[in-house]
Amino acid sequence: MNSEPIILVCAADNLFAMPLAVTVRSALENLSRECCLKIYIIASGISPASKAKIYSSVQSDRVEVEWIEISSPEFKVALPQFGEITFSNLQKLSLSSRNAYPPSTYARLLIPHLLPSNLTKALYLDTDMIVEGDLAQLWKVDLREYLIAAVQESHVHYLHQLNYLDCDKFALSSEAKHFNSGMMLLNLEKWRDNQIAEKCIQFILQYPECITGDQDALNVVLAGRWKEVSPCWNQLNGLYLSSSWKETPYSETEFNQALNHPSIIHFTDRPKPWMAKCIHPRRDLFFKYLDLTAWSGWRPTIANQSWNKANRAIRKLQWKANKMKLSQT
């Protein structure tokens, strides 16, 4: 077994506890036998019962799990060029956006500051993903002068195609590519040295009109400084909506490989696989790996779908109420 583990980071609240377990379990199932994982979970309100299930789902002598509790009153991150960041600050970032992304989404901007300073590389994955390939292959990507490695968006290929983003204001080239931030291989040292977290936070606060929050900020701040990898490593829903490879930014070979033999499947749109009306062609893979977790046998029912829908509605109402309160201060 390799002595140095692959550093995997995921972020979730309690609503995404089960999908998180499925993402990590799928990664473990397809990982080279000689490799191991050190998993850092950025948690916001994950219940003790869900944590126990996550532990049980990924239990292995090749896996170590560490929790980073961002909703704890003790949570503080010192940014050299910005000051101290608390959970309250992450909530304000969430409220500054046009859409109701939870604080855990914005916490990924802090990953290089949350992990031990001796680490130089980390792999971030969204928790609406299934890993079908060997992450050891992705881990080998040489970042060198790049801040991250990522996959170009399959639908909106270039930043100038985002009609709400003024590329001239940010001196962005018309050739600046648009990447999806659901999978990022991070150069932790360069991220810290270049104050990327500070710059992204500043962008989000100054330009709340941007729709995808941290992804827009990351694309502007990292423009021209990220390494493109095969779309196999982040198969986006847009591939299934394209009638031909010519409608995507990928070559014919890349398109066919990503469509038919993806290494990571990203369920970017709703309904998600764990929702009753999902029609994604690879939805069954979610349940294949789900049945290897502590949630084995779980399937969408009227009862649990109503509970999840109610929780999402409550969270959105709370977000709107807090956003209104913030605007009045």
pLDDT tens for the 329 residues of the chain, in order:
666 999 999 999 999 999 999 999 999 999 999 999 999 999 999 999 999 999 999 999 999 999 999 999 999 999 987 889 999 889 888 877 666 578 888 899 999 999 999 999 999 999 999 999 999 999 999 999 999 999 999 988 989 888 878 888 888 888 899 999 999 999 999 999 999 999 999 998 888 777 676 899 999 999 999 999 999 999 999 999 999 999 999 999 999 999 999 999 999 998 999 998 999 999 999 999 999 999 999 999 877 777 667 666 666 666 566 656 656 56
**What is the model's pLDDT at position 36?**
97
Query: What is the 8-class DSSP label of residue 272?
Result: P
Residue 9 tokens, joined = 């980071």
Taking only Cα atoms into account, the Rg of the chain, rounded to an integer number of angstroms, comes to 19
Number of H helices, E strands in the chain: 13, 11
Phi, psi of 148 (to 5 degrees): -145, 165
CB 265 within 8 A of CB 240: no
CB 237 within 8 A of CB 267: yes
- DSSP helix/strand/coil, 53: helix
List the domain boundaries for the chain: 6-299
Pairing of strands 83-86, 6-13: unpaired
How far apart CA 105 and CA 128 sit, in angstroms, is 13
CB 183 within 8 A of CB 266: yes
How far apart CA 309 and CA 303 sit, in angstroms, is 10
Q: How many CB atoms lie within 10 A of CB 53?
A: 18
Please report, as a single letter, which amino acid is at residue 320: K
Write the DSSP string, 259-291.
Answer: HHS-SEEE--SSSPTTSTT---TTHHHHHHHHT
**What b/e sequence results for 104-113 when a residue is b if at least 16 CB atoms lie within 10 Å of its CB, and e otherwise?**
bbbbbbbbbb
CB 27 within 8 A of CB 20: no
**What is the model's pLDDT at position 302?**
77
**What is the model's pLDDT at position 318?**
63
**What is the model's pLDDT at position 251?**
96
Residue 210 tokens, joined = 């941007």
How far apart CA 259 and CA 231 sit, in angstroms, is 9
Q: How many CB atoms lie within 10 A of CB 26?
A: 25
**What is the model's pLDDT at position 137?**
98
Write the DSSP string, 170-229.
Answer: TT--TT-B-EEEEEEEEEHHHHHHTTHHHHHHHHHHH-TT-SSTHHHHHHHHTTT-EEE-
- CATH number for the domain running over 6-299: 3.90.550.10
